[in-house]
Amino acid sequence: MSSFWDQRFAAPQYKYGTEPNAFLREQAHRLSPASRVLLPGDGEGRNSVWLAQQGHQVLAVDSSAVGLAKAQALARQRGLAPIATLQADLADWAPEPDSADALVLVFVHLPGAWRAAAHRRLAQAVVTGGWLLVESFHPQQLGRPSGGPQDVDMLPTLDQLRADFAGLADEWVGWEGEVVLDEGPGHQGPALVSRWLGRRRTT
């Protein structure tokens, strides 16, 4: 998987742009100052770098060394100190429990066979009262040219996302519908997405 993304991120331009995801920007006001934010699958770092600009402590995790290097380059362009990065495979990587105040999963599409297990493993990193934010392409996105994997198994519905985090977080936002994406050459135009925001509960 890392070689696939290394090739995708090899071009000089940023595949999904350099600006943060719209849902993240909309919900970021909920984060306390200097929050510790875990961003698995953040690719070339657009969301990590933006959150670092807001004063948060970020950890960008990705399987692609090329993507992480571009994230550091973007941080330098923005006049930031190097951000924390980690190359890891989300199929089996487990963060430290209670090591983050928020988890951000933006267009991180995982195979259905282990998506729920990975989501629950990642959620364990978030402290009680912390935030979990997810945006992904919806199954009805399949075949549209605006982005996303061409495999319905990797496109969760809102109800599937709810089930993945059931018992771990209380839902604050749950929505699925059409948005217009403008996120670099990789995400352009009308798209069907699932959005979910939860708050970590005591387990």
pTM of the predicted protein model: 0.96
Buried b (16+ CB within 10 A) or exposed e, 164-196: bbeebbeeeeeebeebebebbebbbeebbbbbb
Q: What is the 3-state secondary structure (H, E, C) of 80-137?
A: CCCCEEEECCCCCCCCCCCCEEEEEEECCCCCCCCHHHHHHHHHCCEEEEEEEEEEEE
Is residue 86 within 8 Å of residue 125, measured between CB atoms?
no
Q: Domain of 106: which CATH number?
A: 3.40.50.150
Is residue 20 within 8 Å of residue 80, measured between CB atoms?
no
Is residue 194 within 8 Å of residue 157, measured between CB atoms?
yes
Q: What is the pLDDT along the chain (203 residues), one digit of tens a residue?
A: 567 888 889 988 999 999 999 999 999 999 999 999 999 999 999 999 999 999 999 999 999 999 999 999 999 999 999 999 999 999 999 999 999 999 999 999 999 999 999 999 999 999 999 999 999 999 999 999 999 999 999 999 999 999 999 999 999 999 999 999 999 999 999 999 999 999 999 76
Among 203, 42, 80, 201, residue whose Cα is nearest residue 130: 201
* DSSP structure string for 139-159: GGGTT-TTSS-S-GGG---HH
Three-state DSSP at 31 gives: coil
Domain that holds residue 138: 2-200
Amino acid at 195: R
Structurally, the chain folds into a number of domains equal to 1
Instruction: Name 200's bridge partners.
Output: 169
